[in-house]
Amino acid sequence: MHTRIFFNQLKMGLILYTRVPAAMFWIIAFPVVMLLAMGTVFGGGNDSASKLVWERAGPQTAADTLLLSVLTAGGTVVEIASPSDAEARWKGGKLPIMLVGEGGRYTLRINSYLAGQAMQAKAVVQQGFLVAQARAQGSADPTLIPIVMSSPGGHQEGPYAAFLLPGLLGLNVLMIGVFSTGIVDVTLRAKGGYKRLATTPLPRHIYLGAQVCVRLIVVLVAAALLMLVGAIVFGIHNQGSYVSLAVVQLLGAACFICMGYVLASFAETPDVYSGIANLTFLPLMLLSGVYFSLDSAPDWLQRGADLLPLTPLLRALRAIFNDGAVLGSQWSAVAIVATWTVVLFALATRRFKWV
């Protein structure tokens, strides 16, 4: 009897979910849009580093020729531009770095807004200059420190999209908990939907269990779609086990769904709730490194963020997805998320009210 009610509720829950375009957009389409947009803008990592705009005023000198040949041989595509043309492009704000040659002297201009993207080109130009100088003096090429691009775990040499994708997986479970779960809960309680159910014999745990399972299924579908797009558009693939990835993703979803119920228990109307939800969502998203690594943030902030549930969740997701880590190696991150989940679950069950 209860099993039948449960599957009935699960089926109905999934059908109703697919009928709400807003929910479908934010949970299923939004991560894909973000991956495509941000992955493309910030993205072709290696590509943007291998292009260099070179502003040159006078005719090409011998030194210029030498430097150019060294850079080109190293795989950099160099574009020579006149001062006025180069200035216009610099003003456009999209160039991370530009080489300026003036009367035998070179200057590297780095766009302070895009310093991160300029780093690789900067290293390439400086090394190329040393090589060109040595050759001009007839000495042997200097020994250069080799540069290797890789992710922190040392496996995937992916573009920015590879960093972003596991971040979006984490963002997705945060959103399904804080928004999709919490808002529905507050609305149903405020408008008497729960009250109506409370007059029927429908067991509370069956109803809530089905609601949670609907969201877990949606999370898995969204994750699968996101990874499919990542593979097709950016050629990035899960380096680890899909089972480990699913375990961590579902644990994260459970954690944030419980958080949604807890937060919702503090709000009487959907309006109040949206304030609470945003106050929770924004810091979690910004502090946990969904889009960018927090390496340059103050130490205390980083250590604080490490204790929030999203930061370790993202660390584990990235380790598995990008570096093929086994689940066991991520035990500390998993333990933090699991602790949060247990605490939030206990709070949610204590505070949940039908009426």
Partner 1 sequence: MTFAIEASGLHKSFRDVHAVRGLDLHVGRGEVFGLLGPNGAGKTTSLEMLEGLIRPDAGEIRILGMDWRRQGATIRTRIGVQFQITELDDKVRVREALEMFGSFYPKARSPAELLGLLHLEDKADAYQRRLSGGQRQRLALGLALVNDPDLVFLDEPTTGLDPQARQGLWDLVRQLKQEGRTVLLTTHYMEEAEVLCDRIGIMDRGQILTLGTPRELIAGLHQPSFAEIEFLGSAPDIRPFADRLGMAVEARDQSWSVPLTDAKKDLQAVLSCIEGLNLPMQQLHVRRASLEDVFLQLTGRSLRD
The residues that touch partner 1, with contacts defined as CB under 8 A, are 1, 4-5, 8-9, 12, 15-16, 19-20, 187-188, 191-193, 195-196, 198-202, 354-355
User: Shortest approach of partner 1 to residue 49 CB, angstroms?
Assistant: 49
Which token pair is 309? 């549930």
| CB nearer to partner 1: pick between 137 and 199 | 199
The dihedral of CA 252, 258, 263, 264: what is its sign?
Answer: positive
User: Shortest approach of partner 1 to residue 23 CB, angstroms?
Assistant: 10
Q: What is the DSSP track for 139-192?
A: PPPPP--------TTS-----HHHHHHHHHHHHHHHHIIIIIIHHHHHHHHHTT
| CB nearer to partner 1: pick between 232 and 355 | 355
8 A C-beta contact, residue 54 and residue 188? no
| CB nearer to partner 1: pick between 13 and 43 | 13
Gap between the Cα atoms of 114 and 91, Å rounded:
13
User: Shortest approach of partner 1 to residue 271 CB, angstroms?
Assistant: 16
| CB nearer to partner 1: pick between 20 and 88 | 20
8 A C-beta contact, residue 262 and residue 351? yes
User: Shortest approach of partner 1 to residue 181 CB, angstroms?
Assistant: 15
User: Shortest approach of partner 1 to residue 296 CB, angstroms?
Assistant: 46
What does the chain come to in residues? 355
8 A C-beta contact, residue 236 and residue 156? yes
| CB nearer to partner 1: pick between 4 and 105 | 4
Which token pair is 268? 């009487």
